[in-house]
Amino acid sequence: MPFAVAAAPVAAQAPLPAPTERQRLIVLSDIEADPDDTQSFVRLFLYSNEIDLEGLVATTSIHMKTAIHPDSIRRIIAAYAKVQPNLSKHEAGYPTPDRLRALVREGQPGYGMALVGAGKDTTGSRLIVEAMERNDPRPLWISVWGGANTLAQALYTIRETRSPDVARRLIAKLRIYTISDQDDAGAWLRKTFPDLFYVVSPGGYGAGTWTGIHTLIDGADNHTISNAWLRDNIQQGHGPFGAIYPDVSYGMEGDTPAFLSLIPNGLSNPDHPDWGGWGGRYELYTPPVATTDPSGFSGVTIAPETRPIWTNAIDSFTPQVAREFGRATTPGDRQIKDFRAGLWRWRDDIQNDFAARIEWTVRPFSQANHPPEVRLAGPDRLTVKSGQRFVLSAADSTDPDGDSLSFQWFHYQEIGHWQTPILNGIAANIHTVDFTAPTVTEPREAHFIVRVTDKGTPPLSRYKRVIVTITP
Ligand SMILES: [Ca+2]
Ligand SMILES: [Ca+2]
């Protein structure tokens, strides 16, 4: 029987920013340095109805210093063109292939900061400047899958040609997520524009949060990132778009975490990397920030950071609980604590969502799965006193296919650095949970997540977050 009312009156606060607002995104890609940029574009275009793509720029990187491959982006768009009509049977808003083709641009066909400066603008850098100057109040995300020198050129030009006030206002719109540092432009950007909103695991590849997309979780079932899973769920027998998804070479989709948290799934709030999401979780660290891997595989050597950056945060999760619904944590479960866990904890959900969207490219609506719609019975922000009971409910959630739903509420304890999770109201498999606020000596925020998973094939998950402020 669902709870009809909250156990005690609670104060509602202003709601969170609407998580369904589409984010603006420009991608910089060293496509063809590694097959995985093509993999990431396939996945990105499947979500192009939920993210406003404003640029697709071919660049270099430390792995490919003298060539760019915009034609490879066009080749992926050509495959997308074959399936865009069918995708549009499942959700509205998929851009036309011509719209995507019009976004393809080029950076310098050369490496790093040596090609940044006066007279070195490119179609790619100009596109970034135009997007920054567009009269749009939303932030502008730059997702950097290779080198960052095209972004550096755009900001160089802004700095040289606009007044300091205008430059500051334009740069404040930027939200940058780079996959480590794949040329020497990232360090220059962070040093030259210390106010930049910048998400990065500085330096090489050894310790990037983003590696959670493809690294093996020790002791857990890693089936959904295996070549066999990709063959059976993406590449073989799922139409022309899945068929262009290349085999894994160095690692599956190392660049994908640079846009995953922009998918409006109810979990992420892109302006709060510390709240976590499909792309992982990051905290704002102030100097001194050590380079995570100064001499790592990427070969880019980075000086110590001099300003705050959003970077690796340690998360913990229990793979068995993430995978098996109906299980609360038991003392025998192995808990993993790792800077990649903020992504690992969602990885099966991410992969199932990808597989479902590949089905959207070929099947009618009635023969494919679509994610549930999570609805909270109450507000998504509450204030309660120590010892007060409060109720959180997602009982009104629905599924567009009529699928049955499973519910998993949990306290995301790393957010706000809680020593112990608030578990007193959590039971497995119920849509409504009844907590008693712990005693605090000063106001503290606790984030509760509900993960709602349908019983379709593959099972799909969506989320809601409730932020509870607990006062003494
Ligand atoms: Ca890349
Ligand atoms: Ca469904």
* 358 to 59, 242, 272, 413: CA distances (angstroms): 27, 6, 29, 34
Distance 420 CA to ligand 1 centre (A): 38
Tokens of residue 412, six digits = 């995301």
**235-239: long-range contacts, CB 8 A cutoff, minimum separation 24:** 238/358, 238/359, 238/361, 238/362, 239/82, 239/83, 239/358, 239/361, 239/362
DSSP 339-352: TTHHHHTTHHHHHH
Ligand 1 centroid, distance to 279 Cα (angstroms): 16
Give the ligand whose atoms come closest to the C-alpha of residue 365. Answer: 2
Task: State in Å: Cα 323 to ligand 2 middle.
Answer: 18
pLDDT at position 96, please?
98
User: Is the alpha carbon torsion for 78, 358, 355, 258 positive or negative?
Assistant: positive
Q: How many CB atoms lie within 10 A of CB 118?
A: 8
* Per-residue confidence in pLDDT tens, the chain, 472 aa: 333 333 334 455 554 444 457 999 999 999 999 999 999 999 999 999 999 999 999 999 999 999 999 999 999 999 999 999 999 999 999 999 999 999 999 999 999 999 999 999 999 999 999 999 999 999 999 999 999 999 999 999 999 999 999 999 999 999 999 999 999 999 999 999 999 999 988 766 667 889 999 999 988 889 999 999 999 999 999 999 999 999 998 889 999 999 999 999 999 899 899 999 999 999 888 766 555 544 344 455 556 777 788 888 888 888 876 666 556 667 777 888 888 999 999 999 999 999 999 999 999 999 999 999 999 999 999 999 999 999 999 999 999 999 999 999 999 999 998 988 888 777 777 899 999 999 999 999 999 999 999 999 999 999 999 999 999 9
- Taking the CA of 143 as reference, the closest ligand is 1
Domains of the chain: which residue ranges?
Answer: 23-312, 372-472
State residue 468 phi and psi, 5-degree precision.
-110, 120
Exposed/middle/buried for residue 287 (C-beta within 10 Å: 0-12, 13-18, 19+) = exposed
**How far is ligand 2, taken at its centre, from the CA of residue 456, in Å?**
5
Residues, beta carbon < 5 Å, ion ligand 1: 30, 37, 145-146, 255
Q: How far is the CA of 388 from the centre of ligand 1 (A)?
A: 50
Place of tokens 């606060």: 13
- What is the CATH class of 372-472? mainly beta
N-term to C-term CA, the chain: 32
Q: How far is the CA of 459 from the centre of ligand 2 (A)?
A: 7
The whole-number pLDDT of residue 208 equals 84
Instruction: Give distance in angstroms: CA of 59 to centre of ligand 1.
Output: 9
CB contact at 8 A, 224 and 351: yes
What separation in Å is there between the alpha carbon of 465 and the centre of ligand 1?
A: 32
Beta-carbon neighbours within 5 Å of ion ligand 2 = 369-370, 399, 401, 403, 454, 456
Kindly give the distance from the C-alpha atom of residue 350 to the centroid of ligand 2, in angstroms, as a whole number. 15
400 Cα: distance to centroid of ligand 2 (angstroms) = 6
What is the Å distance from ligand 1's center to 470 Cα?
Answer: 43
Question: Counting ligands in written order, which one lies closest to the CA of residue 462?
Answer: 2
Distance from the CA of 363 to the center of ligand 2, in angstroms? Answer: 14
Q: Which residues of 173-206 are buried (b: 16+ CB within 10 A; e: fewer)?
A: bbbbbbbbbbbbbbbbbbeebeebbbbbbbbbbe
Query: 198 alpha carbon to ligand 1 midpoint, in Å?
Result: 18
Question: What separation in Å is there between the alpha carbon of 181 and the centre of ligand 2?
Answer: 39
Ligand with smallest separation from the Cα of 179: 1
Spacing, Cα 68 to ligand 2 middle (Å): 40
User: Which pLDDT score, from 0 to 100, does residue 290 have?
Assistant: 53
The CA 34 to ligand 1 mean position distance, Å, reads 6
Distance 36 CA to ligand 1 centre (A): 7
* Token reading at 84: 């865009």
**Ligand 2 geometric centre to CA of 404 (Å):** 8
Task: Give 399 Cα–ligand 2 centroid separation in angstroms.
Answer: 5
Ligand 2: distance of its center to the CA of 398 in Å? 9
Relative to the alpha carbon of 146, which ligand is closest?
Answer: 1
| CA 339 to centroid of chain Cα atoms | 15
What is the predicted pLDDT for the residue at 336?
Answer: 87
Q: Please give the Cα distance from 242 to 229 (Å, whole number).
A: 13
Fold designation for 23-312: Inosine-uridine Nucleoside N-ribohydrolase; Chain A (3.90.245)
Answer whether 213's CB lies under 8 Å from 253's CB: yes
- Contact assessment for residue 436 and residue 389, using Cβ atoms and an 8 Å cutoff: yes
- What token pair was written down for 126? 């100009």
CA of 181 to the centre of ligand 1 (A): 11
Distance 371 CA to ligand 2 centre (A): 5
